[in-house]
A = this chain, B = another copy of it.
Amino acid sequence: MRIQIVMVFAWFFASAAVAGPNLILTEEGVEEIKATSEFPALFSKAMETAKARVERSMGEGIIVPVPTDPGGGYTHERHKENYKIISDAATLYQLTGDVEYLAHAEAMLLSYAAMYQDLPLHPQQKNQAPGRLFWQGLNESVWLVHVAQGYDAIREDLGTESRNKIEQELLRPVADFLSAGSRRTFQRIHNHGTWAAAAVGMTGYALGDKALVERALYGLDGDGEAGFLKQMSELFSPDGYYTEGPYYQRYALMPFVLFGQAIENNEPERKIFDYRDGILRKAITATIQQSYAGTFFPINDAIKEKGLDTQELVYGVAAAYALSGDPGLLSIAEYQGATVLTGDGLKVAKDLAAGKATAFQYTTQLLRDGPSGDQGGLGVMRMGDGPMAQTLVAKHTGQGMGHGHFDKLSIILYDAGREILTDYGAARFLNVPSKEGGRYLPENTSWAKQSIAHNTIVLGEESHFGSDWRRGQESWPIVDVFEQVDGANVVSAVITDAYPGSMLRRTTVQIDMGAEHPPVVVDVFDAEAQSRTMIDLPFYFEGQLTDSSLALAREGATLAPLGDDNGYQHLWVESTAASKDGAASFTWLTGNRFYTYHSIASAPATYSVVRTGANDPDFNLRSEQGILLRLKHRKNARFVSVFEPHGVYDPAQEFTFESDSRIEQISTHQNDGAGVVILDFKSGERVVVAFADKPDDGTAKKIAINAETYEWSGFAKVFRE
């Protein structure tokens, strides 16, 4: 009997005109999808995934528990799953006309409507912006972004009663709670604010409520000092760099992309994708550019595993492809192995199946930071072909707000598909309840953010800006030079207020060594302190030490921490050796290649091998190692570092080749405002990197060494002999 009724309903609705949704899924998209007789692989996978999710849920029945658990806990994950169920069920209803999907989405929305208004703030609230369904308002915004889309897809086919209940008792109250009810977050120029704006704005379109849309676009006071447009203006630099870095960029991107598309679909006259010279498109591309071998550069607070296959970027790629038609984006979609259930997603899947994908063009570029592009920048230098090209990341950006690390002028090096000079990322186990509920761990502050945790200079065992991000926020490096000359990529930057009365300048040169050998990196780091102090420069690496020029005996009987504070307390000192002339070399093995770090310090130095794990009572830190170069009691220092990948280690084929450095000798000279680093290879080849101490002042430079004279103009030059 019941079955019959359902079938009659099904027939009724299937034959009725299903009126069009218009947020991300559009009426045109629906028509196109319905007109497609055989779905291409990626799209059909998306359909299957959605069907499996929704049908599992229909089997379980409606489960809308009272919110009690923090991130990673049962109710948290359940409410996350539910917004996907609502959105997927509603989408499937549009695409198939099957009213069972409609009924399921409706029932779940009604369950939420019955509960929401009586909910207090979440019992596990921990920060200043709690939610009601979730411990953080942020999660509630994400929930609403999805639920608004779901509602938009079924609204026209709901009865008046349901529609009123859902609108008045759920969507409006949530939108109000996230805006007027959470003023601090909503008005903030920050990714939480963007999510809130997108949630409120998309709800506005779904309800046909212009005022809500205006609130989302211009802020609670309607003055444009907050809201989505302000966020677009301030959170991205003109190059599409997001000030918190790529980990948050991909997260922040999603509300920009989704609300952007909703605006475009509802009010194309706003030309939102042309806003600020097409900033949304640039932001999507810049996110992809900030990745290596599929994962994002882990600068600032970043979960290192996060990469291009993240759901946010699946939306981003579909949106960007719809806008630009760049076939390189299809290869990213292929890597993701996923697309979205919209017209844009269908187009991605179709064109990918038609073999239109080309390799994504990873480029060497400076991504300027700051709303006007004048607050430093992220230097990305690549050499070689494709996504495995050697990549050097120079973190010469601004602070990046509260999630920023105190790592001015730090670098990361990737080679042969791996991170060679590493960045720790964040100390956090996302959504693992036993690890402080999945939040940032205390060691994120005491270690991961500190300067000593990064590949940069530390003066007097204190972190940059005294570990005060608000102070850091007011200042940034000046990137004087970012250029490609003589088969080399060059970046140079200076900062004068990481420490009072100090100057730090780093010049990094990535040099093409021809088709037979990987590029070599020459890195010159100058420090001037206010007065004599300890000057440290660590390099963290993943791999096994295989050789050193120093008699570097590892401690056998006892280990002690390097220091007491500012991250130093977390480093065990495994070994220390002195170098009277300041020079040393270390070789390690990472994957199938050897890497030699050649170092010349300007004064007698000690080199220590250090490892994270001291003063970490809860085993919150990963065990990672570094080499720490230290000058004691100096006012000035120059550190010349050469990173040379070489050889092959192939245990499968029992083949090892060139496990020793190819370099015979490195020397460095400096006079009259210019310097050279001379690499003499065992083959007889000589490579000379010449550079000015300061950015180009237009004068001719000249350095004479024994019989040789090197002359150049401009900032840097590479001579090959």
Residues of A within 8 A of B (CB): 72, 77, 80, 303, 305-307, 309-311, 429-435, 438, 544-547, 552-561, 569, 572, 574-575, 587, 589, 609, 611, 613-619, 622-623, 625, 649, 651-657, 659-660
Complex partner residue of A589 from B77, B432, B569, B572, CB under 8 angstroms: B432
A688 to B467, CA, bound (A): 55
Residues of B within 8 A of A544 (CB): 429, 619, 622
Q: Who on chain B is nearest to A561 by CB?
A: B557
A656 to B72, CA, bound (A): 6
- Interface centre among A306, A544, A553, by most B CB within 10 Å? A544
Residues of B within 8 A of A554 (CB): 613, 616-619
Interface of A is mostly: loop
A651-B77 contact in complex given A557-B560, A618-B554, C-beta closer than 8 Å: no
Complex partner residue of A558 from B72, B438, B559, B622, CB under 8 angstroms: B559
CB distance from A306 to the nearest CB of B (A): 6
- The reply to whether A431 and B623 form a contact with Cβ atoms under 8 Å apart is no
CB distance from A66 to the nearest CB of B (A): 20
Residues of B within 8 A of A80 (CB): 655
CB distance from A430 to the nearest CB of B (A): 5
- The reply to whether B652 and A310 form a contact with Cβ atoms under 8 Å apart is yes
Residues of B within 8 A of A547 (CB): 434-435
A656 to B623, CA, bound (A): 23
Residues of B within 8 A of A552 (CB): 619
Complex partner residue of A652 from B306, B575, B652, B655, CB under 8 angstroms: B306
CB distance from A143 to the nearest CB of B (A): 13
- The reply to whether B652 and A309 form a contact with Cβ atoms under 8 Å apart is yes
- The reply to whether B572 and A559 form a contact with Cβ atoms under 8 Å apart is yes
Complex partner residue of A433 from B431, B574, B660, CB under 8 angstroms: B660
A411 to B546, CA, bound (A): 30
Q: Who on chain B is nearest to A434 by CB?
A: B547
Q: Who on chain B is nearest to A142 by CB?
A: B654
- Shortest 3 CB-CB distances between A and B: which pairs? A431-B656, A434-B547, A559-B559
Residues of B within 8 A of A310 (CB): 652-654
A558 to B311, CA, bound (A): 44
Residues of B within 8 A of A651 (CB): 303, 305-306, 430
Residues of B within 8 A of A655 (CB): 77, 80, 431
A619-B545 contact in complex given A309-B652, A310-B653, A559-B558, C-beta closer than 8 Å: yes
- The reply to whether B625 and A623 form a contact with Cβ atoms under 8 Å apart is yes
CB distance from A696 to the nearest CB of B (A): 41
Residues of B within 8 A of A587 (CB): 434
Q: Who on chain B is nearest to A305 by CB?
A: B651
CB distance from A72 to the nearest CB of B (A): 5
- The reply to whether A614 and B556 form a contact with Cβ atoms under 8 Å apart is yes
Residues of B within 8 A of A657 (CB): 77
Q: Who on chain B is nearest to A71 by CB?
A: B656
A545 to B589, CA, bound (A): 26
Residues of B within 8 A of A309 (CB): 652
Can you pick out 30 interface pairs between chain A and chain B where the beta carbons lie within 8 Å of each other?
A72-B656, A72-B659, A77-B655, A80-B655, A305-B651, A307-B652, A309-B652, A310-B654, A429-B546, A429-B589, A429-B649, A430-B649, A431-B656, A432-B546, A432-B659, A434-B659, A434-B660, A435-B547, A553-B617, A555-B614, A556-B561, A556-B614, A556-B615, A557-B561, A557-B615, A558-B559, A558-B560, A574-B613, A574-B619, A623-B625
CB distance from A206 to the nearest CB of B (A): 24
Residues of B within 8 A of A614 (CB): 555-557, 559
A311 to B93, CA, bound (A): 55
Residues of B within 8 A of A625 (CB): 623
Residues of B within 8 A of A623 (CB): 611, 623, 625
Residues of B within 8 A of A589 (CB): 429, 432
Residues of B within 8 A of A557 (CB): 560-561, 614-615
CB distance from A418 to the nearest CB of B (A): 14
Q: Who on chain B is nearest to A553 by CB?
A: B617
Q: Who on chain B is nearest to A545 by CB?
A: B619
A436 to B351, CA, bound (A): 55
CB distance from A424 to the nearest CB of B (A): 13
A353 to B80, CA, bound (A): 45
A678 to B559, CA, bound (A): 42
CB distance from A43 to the nearest CB of B (A): 19
A146 to B350, CA, bound (A): 51
A609 to B431, CA, bound (A): 24
Residues of B within 8 A of A616 (CB): 554, 556
| Other A-B pairs beyond A305-B652, A554-B618, 17, CB < 8 Å | A80-B655, A307-B652, A311-B653, A431-B655, A432-B656, A433-B659, A434-B659, A434-B660, A554-B619, A556-B614, A557-B560, A558-B560, A559-B560, A559-B572, A574-B613, A575-B619, A611-B613
CB distance from A312 to the nearest CB of B (A): 9
Residues of B within 8 A of A560 (CB): 557-559
Residues of B within 8 A of A433 (CB): 659-660
Q: Who on chain B is nearest to A618 by CB?
A: B554
CB distance from A59 to the nearest CB of B (A): 14
Residues of B within 8 A of A569 (CB): 556
CB distance from A711 to the nearest CB of B (A): 38
A698 to B654, CA, bound (A): 51
- The reply to whether A609 and B619 form a contact with Cβ atoms under 8 Å apart is yes
Residues of B within 8 A of A546 (CB): 429, 432, 434-435
Complex partner residue of A77 from B431, B434, B553, B656, CB under 8 angstroms: B656
A557 to B430, CA, bound (A): 28
A544 to B619, CA, bound (A): 8
CB distance from A6 to the nearest CB of B (A): 30
Residues of B within 8 A of A574 (CB): 613, 619
Residues of B within 8 A of A558 (CB): 558-560
Residues of B within 8 A of A618 (CB): 553-554
CB distance from A54 to the nearest CB of B (A): 17
- The reply to whether A617 and B77 form a contact with Cβ atoms under 8 Å apart is no
A669 to B592, CA, bound (A): 50
A429 to B556, CA, bound (A): 21
- Interface centre among A80, A309, A546, by most B CB within 10 Å? A546
A554 to B303, CA, bound (A): 23
CB distance from A227 to the nearest CB of B (A): 26
Residues of B within 8 A of A305 (CB): 651-652
Complex partner residue of A656 from B438, B649, B652, B653, CB under 8 angstroms: B438
Residues of B within 8 A of A306 (CB): 651-652
